[in-house]
Chains A and B, each alone.
Chain A
Amino acid sequence: MTAFIKQILFILILAALLGAAFALDQNGAAPPPKFDRAAALQKQGFYLEEVAKKCGVEFVHHGPTKLDPKLQHILPVVAAMGASVSVVDFDRDGWPDVFVTNGQEGSKCALYRNQHDGTFKDVAEEVGLADLNREGTGVCMGAVWGDYDNDGYEDVLVYKWGRPILYHNDAGKHFTPVPQEKSGLPDWMNANSALWFDYDRDGKLDLFVAGYWRDDLDLWHLADGKVMPDSFEYATNGGSKHLLHNNGDGTFTDVAEKMGISSKRWTLAAASASLCETGYPDLFLANDYGVSELYANRGGKKFEEVGEKVGVGHSPKSGMNASFGDVNNTGRFSVYVSNISEPGVLVQGNNLWTPVKGCTGDNLRYQNLANPLKVELGGWSWGAQFVDLNNDGLLDLYLTNGYISADKGQSYWYDYSKIAGANGLVIGDAANWPAIRNRSLSGYQPKHVWLNKGGGFVEVAAGVGVLDQYDGRAVATADLWNRGVQDVIVANQNGPLLIYKNTVAPGNHPGNHCNHWVQFALEGAASNRSAIGAEVRLFWDGKQQVQAVSGGDGYASQRERRLHFGLGKSSKIDKVVIQWPSGRTQTVEKPAADTAHSIREAP
């Protein structure tokens, strides 16, 4: 072969490789399908319709605007959180209600009572949960509900950049602040996540609150600008964590240090379940600017951070969500952690931490299956929830996203990338952060609804009616109108609260979607009355699926406590095994399908 022919051959090889790169990049870049209800029912078995205004919900979130002047040039970047949503039946009428926080100084939060007729009414003012952003007390970042005194009514912790407050629910009529000397909460902290759980299984709900910014920072009055993370991916100068042990007499004691929780990472999301399968609830933290952490519960006596050992604590990213789901119907929880992906700029990819088969307890190990299961790229991802949207017996995944939607024609990404890649000496000082002005940063992003097809997910958001492009933060799911389907509520930063009403194809639908469902509303006896932490394992049609009652998960959200299982075409359930937080196990044989069951813990 002559040199000339060889040269031509090498040029052809190079051209083929370049062509392959271009072709592979374009693969799957087709425009999203147009939304058509009939087509969605036919193809996916459901569609979602945004109905907030029709239901009387016209809540619009606003972020803080009066932070210290040293942060004003990056205010949209800093004040980018606080839109939260939690679902609770605060008045025990059997219908889920919705609580949302606002974040502007002086703005009001809202508690939407379910009117049972398809509408909601904001009763926050009359029950004392509206005016939570008074000057000098900070602003709300989220709320979690749990019946800490087992009186049957769900109490609420409102966590803030500022003074966190625990409110006692007075029989669904009013909420009374619990004095700080009783609640054990710090006078001031900058929290972005919290959850209720009974870590020592004593039947009384304990409280975990995670700081984001340093505790000593009052973001409205800063001494200097050296308040930012000291690294984009290795920061350890965030807020303290507080583990408040419920003493059973209406008081709490902070035992975080004693129990081994000393992280100073920038935690944005916390979730709890017995991931190590010991029966004791473990604690998973998704941290911004760093690795995730998993605190394994050692018999209610100690927590041990095992994130690195089990595989979730290796590659640092920008964790913003932690939600659990039995995605493969293996009877074990996977953990979904959202991160940042911006094509051509920063590709972190979201994580779907799935337990390796056969590895449990002290040998627990996770592998990230986000890529092979196709739930990896979600833009600037925030809150996510696993939910069976079409009742086919497989948990789907709803993800909201988007950071700052300002001027569409101008992006802050380049300036942001300079500071994100800087050494700690530079990134840690707000003065070095370029001014954002009116530029967008991963704004106007299309949302993601990933439908679980068994063995992988497919993106269907636009095709099933999820068309908004707000800067989404928190996602919660509930059967808002007791219809046997899961609706989705989304809180947006500086945007409206969205309620996506779910319509599932009826049994005689030509799409052959004749799917059944079953629900379980649990009430603890020896366990905490909210049954938070209870695991329900459903066996049907040769399959099983596990779900747990949540005391707060996702990002700044809390799902409905009532657990919902899709059954697919099978209407026969073999049994349900309930692992109560107390450690007791209760089995219900052959519960009826298409029914919401209320189950009280057996004595």
Chain B
Amino acid sequence: MSVGETTHAPPAVVRPAHVAAPRPRFRPVPFFLGIAAALVLLVGQYAFEKAWAAALQATATLTAVRVAVNAVLLVAAAFVFFRWVLRQIDARYHAPVFITVILVGAQVYYGVLENYSVPWLGTLTGGWITSFSPTFMTILAAVGTELVLGRLAYGKWINPASAYVSGISAGILIKSPELWPFVLCAMISIASKYALRVNGRHLWNPTNFGVTVLLLLAPLHTASLSVQYGNVLWANVLIWTLGALILWKIGKLHIPVTFAAVYLLLSPLRSWATGNAWATEIAPLTGPMYQLYMCFMITDPKTTTHRKWSQCLVAALVAVAETGLRLAPTWFVASPEMLSFDAPYLALFTVGPAANLIEIWWTAGKRRPVAPAL
């Protein structure tokens, strides 16, 4: 996943490709005040929920008050953080900061990450450290692979921000009792960027490629994230708001909006075909896996097509393909069930590169490659 590669993305405002975007001047006072204000709003929301949630559920009107207060506080926190903190940071680091905020917040509030224990670590440190984080190891593996392969490819150390996002995403999305699937997912994700290229452009979103092939090649030891983080709607509000602001800033918001719209439009079809409640068919959208998928994976500037209308078309096709894969075992009994489980990954895995190839073919000879060939 590579929103972190936005330095190479077409900017929202059209300017000549060789002209870099003006770097925002760093103003420490608003920066730190912004962080403080966002934290105050979050603490306020937490305190409000803790103190008043039960009382305000008594009637429909009071429930509406509760929802409104929570929503205002969280949207305000997201906006303050975006306006006075994120916008002062180089755009390359928006995605790493955003995904770090998601991970740290989820871990602090809900302990979503499971550390792996090794007996000798506890013995060695007198019980102070008994375990390590596979997610952290995944980040290290991704960054390390990027540095080594980047050095081999370009003869210089390259900025690992994109690899950091890939690593953190793989570390969240992969679930396994072993360490090796995490590490291999990270390494495969990064290696795919260098190995699978056409006209200097890599076709697959790296993490999408890594997660998908690992789910295909190592199903006995690998699963994808499939449960909620904390299971509260407020976390969704915060993440979607902040994500939307960042995506709007880099001119990619239309992609997840299109995907979500088509996903929702197709949900009655899935409901009808499976006999399940409509709420069940839209339920996955409320989970962290889709938050990562929509905020980072399908919006990756490096592996999306270049024109806005084609990006919308591809997002819609991914959603259509996803529904097809989800329904395959319902309509065709012989279809493997994993098509449904891994439908979002497989949909992007197939539609994304196909769209890129078509675009490369279509524009061949009309424009120069977007990145130098290896």
> Do the beta carbons of A344 and B119 come within 8 Å of each other?
no
Please state if A234 and B117 are interface contacts (CB–CB under 8 Å). Answer: no
> Does B110 sit within 8 A of A, measured CB to CB?
yes
Of residues 420 through 461 on chain A, the ones whose CB sits less than 8 Å from some CB of chain B are 420-427, 429, 431-435
Are A371 and B280 interface neighbours, CB within 8 A?
no
> Contact: B231 with A233, CB < 8 Å?
yes
- Chain A residues, Cβ within 8 Å of B231: 230-234, 423-424, 427
From B20-28, B35-43, B194-202, B316-324, give the one contacting chain A. Answer: B194-202
- Of A10, A359, A368, A369, the residue contacting B153 (CB under 8 A) is A10
A232–B227 Cα distance when bound, in Å, is: 7
Number of B residues whose C-beta is below 8 Å from A? 71
Q: Report Cα–Cα, A363/B122, bound state, in Å.
A: 14
Interface-located stretch among B3-11, B125-133, B249-257: B125-133
Report whether A18 and B213 are in contact in the complex, using a CB–CB cutoff of 8 Å.
yes
A542 at the interface (CB under 8 A from B): no
- Say yes or no: is A301 at the interface (Cβ < 8 Å to chain B): no
Question: Counting CB contacts under 8 A, is B222 at the interface?
Answer: yes
**Contact among B110, B152, B196 with A234 in the assembled complex (CB-CB below 8 Å):** B110
Residues of the B chain whose Cβ atoms lie less than 8 Å from the Cβ of A9: 152
Minimum distance in angstroms from B48 CB to a CB of chain A = 19
Chain B's closest residue to A416 (CB) is: B226
Say whether A29 faces chain B, with CB atoms less than 8 Å apart.
yes
B113 in contact (CB, < 8 A)? yes
Whether B220 pairs with A21 at a CB distance below 8 angstroms is: no
Q: Verify if B30 is at the interface (C-beta below 8 Å from A).
A: no
Q: Does B363 contact A (CB under 8 A)?
A: no
Min Cβ gap B301→A in Å is 21
Among candidates B276, B286, B374, residue contacting A423 with C-beta atoms closer than 8 Å: B286
- B329 CB-CB contact with A under 8 Å: yes
Q: Nearest-CB distance from B46 to chain A (Å)?
A: 16
A234 touches B228 (CB 8 A): yes
Does B337 lie at the interface of the complex (its beta carbon under 8 Å from any beta carbon of A)? yes
Interchain CA distance A157-B255 in the complex, whole Å: 60
Q: Is the CB of A14 within 8 A of B152?
A: no
Asked if residues A368 and B131 are in contact (CB atoms below 8 Å), the reply is yes
Binds A, one of B91-99, B164-172, B178-186, B350-358: B178-186
In the complex, chain A residues whose CB is within 8 Å of the CB of B180: 20-21, 24
Q: Look across to chain B and name the residue whose beta carbon is closest to the beta carbon of A19.
A: B217
A427 to chain B, nearest CB (A): 8
Whole-angstrom CA separation of A344 from B340 in the bound complex:
11
- Which A residues, 291 to 310, have Cβ-Cβ distances below 8 Å to chain B? 291, 308
The reply to whether A17 and B184 contact each other, CB–CB distance below 8 Å, is: yes
> Chain B residues in contact with chain A, CB under 8 A?
110-119, 122-123, 126-127, 130-131, 149, 152-153, 175-178, 180-181, 184, 187-188, 191-192, 194-197, 213-215, 217-223, 226-228, 230-233, 236, 274-277, 279-281, 283-284, 286-287, 289, 329, 337-338, 340-341, 373-374
Can you offer 11 A-B residue contacts whose CB atoms are under 8 A? A7-B374, A9-B152, A233-B227, A343-B221, A368-B117, A371-B178, A414-B341, A417-B226, A421-B287, A425-B233, A433-B280
The list of the 7 closest CB pairs from A to B, nearest first, reads A422-B283, A25-B218, A231-B231, A367-B117, A344-B219, A423-B286, A367-B130
